[in-house]
Amino acid sequence: MSDLFDTGTRPGRVPLAALLRPATLDEVIGQEAVVGPGSILRRRIAARSLGSVILYGPPGIGKTSIARAVGAMLGKEFRPLNATRAGVSDLRRIADEARIKPVLIFVDEVQRFSATQADDLLALCEDGVADFIGATTGNPYHVLTPALVSRSTILKLEPLSIEEMERVVQRGIDHLAGEGIEVSMTPEQRRMVAGRSGGDARRALTTLESLAVGHEADGPLRITDEMLTEAYVSAPINHDRSGDAHYDIVSAFIKSMRGSDPDATLYWLARLIHGGEDPRFIARRIMIHASEDVGLADNTALQTAVAAAQAVEKIGYPEAQIVLAHAALHIARAPKSGSVTRGISQALHFVGSQPPASVPLHLRDAHYKGAAALGHVGYRFPHDDPRGWVEQEYAPGLARGAFYQSDARSAPTFERRADEYWTRTTGTPQPRRLPGDDPSA
């Protein structure tokens, strides 16, 4: 008996994902906006003028496959390079080849190219020597040189939908059947593989392949739920810390804390932790948003966040996940106020756009001989007043509430208590961003 992946019959076994690479854009599953009829890529191929193209998106969604298909459709030699290993000599070698026959240069991880390498590559394309497709998991506007961005067509690829992933899985099953391996899988199991693969076609096919390895070809392979569970026990969730997945998951985590959704906060935090995110990075984000989104509504939120940051420095994973969850949930569950962020932003804008104001004489340093002779007098010490406050000018010409407007709402927060205290003390209502929601009224 032989199995599908018997190295005696298939020396240097080719992975299933590579065997199923589409030969043309018509065979690509998903990415309709990029490869469908009327798309920029189709029009460029029809015009036989590709130029410089950047494909970006998460791993395993077809960037390399699309590039290979484009090369085949253009009738050009496909010359792949990996930017982490390619040097100037590699580019020169391909350039020499391209002067003899049509070549499509494909650069994976193109964000790793230096500015000099990128300029050399673009020069080849602009001189008509070769066409170029670059692939990156990062947002090109964040990770590529300005020259590459401005002189290339940027095409974004999306993670495959569950339905598209099911088609990928079925294509793999059909291929295995053609190789003599009958895979029996329920629709629910097929959907599980599709869902757990996170839009990554390569991961789905690799999972299917791992189940088939070693199976003898004289009988059907019946997939069980236990087999699938075991296959995914150690499978990482897609979290590329240099790409859009990083920024998107962090953004979702932050917005869930700001939106006071504890379950979503824990989910996105778990995604970050499971993806191997540095706990110190997560702790820093929590600290920032303790002030940015909670602020004066609950001053203890920042204390919790700072304590969490100190704790993760000492303990690390796995225990750090508990500390991070504690701090993140404090932010999510705390009442919210944006007055701190808004206030300092408005003050900085004012300082940057207006002439500097002189410090009033009564506020100037008076701790030296001769200060009084210079007019540095008249400061009234608030602690000498029974109220702990005196009415005096601190910033001439600056309207009250120019920068700080309270966000106090109905909850008994520090900010609300402060509003009530200062309204009683000064006899003047506190400036508020939302005048209709005045807790002191």
What are φ and ψ of residue 262, in 5° steps? -65, -35
Tokens encoding 245? 């997945």
With a cut of 90, say whether residue 41 has pLDDT above it. yes
Picking from 119, 135, 156, the residue at the C-terminal end of a domain is 156
Q: For residues 168 and 198, what is the distance between their CA atoms, to the nearest angstrom?
A: 13
Residues 203 and 308 in one domain: no
Quote the pLDDT of residue 3.
41
Helix axes 162-178, 187-196, angle to 10 degrees: 120
Cis before 318 (ω within 30): yes
Say how many domains are in the chain.
Answer: 3
| CATH number, domain containing residue 118 | 3.40.50.300
Residue 180 lies in a domain: yes
Residues 151 and 166 in one domain: no
Residues 113 and 172 in one domain: no
Residue 188 lies in a domain: yes
Structure-model confidence comparison of residues 214 and 23, the more confident one: 23
| CATH number, domain containing residue 194 | 1.10.8.60
- Distance of alpha carbon 133 from the chain centroid: 23
Picking from 91, 121, 156, the residue at the C-terminal end of a domain is 156
Residues 39 and 118 in one domain: yes
| CATH number, domain containing residue 280 | 1.20.272.10
Q: How confident is the model at residue 241 (pLDDT cuts 50, 70, 90)?
A: low
Residues 256 and 187 in one domain: no
Residues 189 and 280 in one domain: no
Residues 37 and 141 in one domain: yes
Region for 260 from its dihedrals, namely left if φ exceeds 0, alpha if ψ lies in -120 to 50, beta otherwise: left
Structure-model confidence comparison of residues 217 and 211, the more confident one: 211
66 is in which domain, residue-wise?
31-156
Q: Which residues contact 274 (CB under 8 A, 6 or more apart)?
A: 236, 237, 239
With a cut of 70, say whether residue 152 has pLDDT above it. yes
Q: For residues 18 and 206, what is the distance between their CA atoms, to the nearest angstrom?
A: 10
Q: How confident is the model at residue 44 (pLDDT cuts 50, 70, 90)?
A: very high
**Tell me: the pLDDT tens digits for 312-350?**
988 878 888 999 999 999 999 999 999 999 999 999 998
Arithmetic mean of pLDDT over the chain: 84
Residue 249 lies in a domain: yes
Quote the pLDDT of residue 331.
95
Q: What percent of the chain has pLDDT over 90?
A: 32
Other Cβ atoms closer than 10 A to 179: 15
Quote the pLDDT of residue 237.
54
Residue 342 lies in a domain: no
With a cut of 80, say whether residue 292 has pLDDT above it. yes
DSSP result, 262-306: HHHHHHHHHHHHHTT--HHHHHHHHHHHIIIIIGGG-THHHHHHH
The DSSP output letter for 405 is: -
Other Cβ atoms closer than 10 A to 291: 17
State the amino acid at position 347 in one-letter form.
Answer: A
Of 166-175, 189-198, 252-261, the range with the lowest mean pLDDT is 189-198
Quote the pLDDT of residue 264.
94
Residues 182 and 88 in one domain: no
With a cut of 80, say whether residue 218 has pLDDT above it. no
Q: Considering the entire predicted model, what is its pTM?
A: 0.58
Residue 175 lies in a domain: yes
Quote the pLDDT of residue 357.
83
Picking from 156, 181, 197, the residue at the C-terminal end of a domain is 156
Average pLDDT over residues 239-265: 82
Residue 35 lies in a domain: yes
- Reading across the β-sheet that carries 103-108, which strands appear in turn? 77-82, 103-108, 131-136, 52-56, 153-156
Q: Which residues contact 135 (CB under 8 A, 6 or more apart)?
A: 54, 55, 56, 63, 64, 67, 106, 107, 108, 109, 110
With a cut of 60, say whether residue 438 has pLDDT above it. no
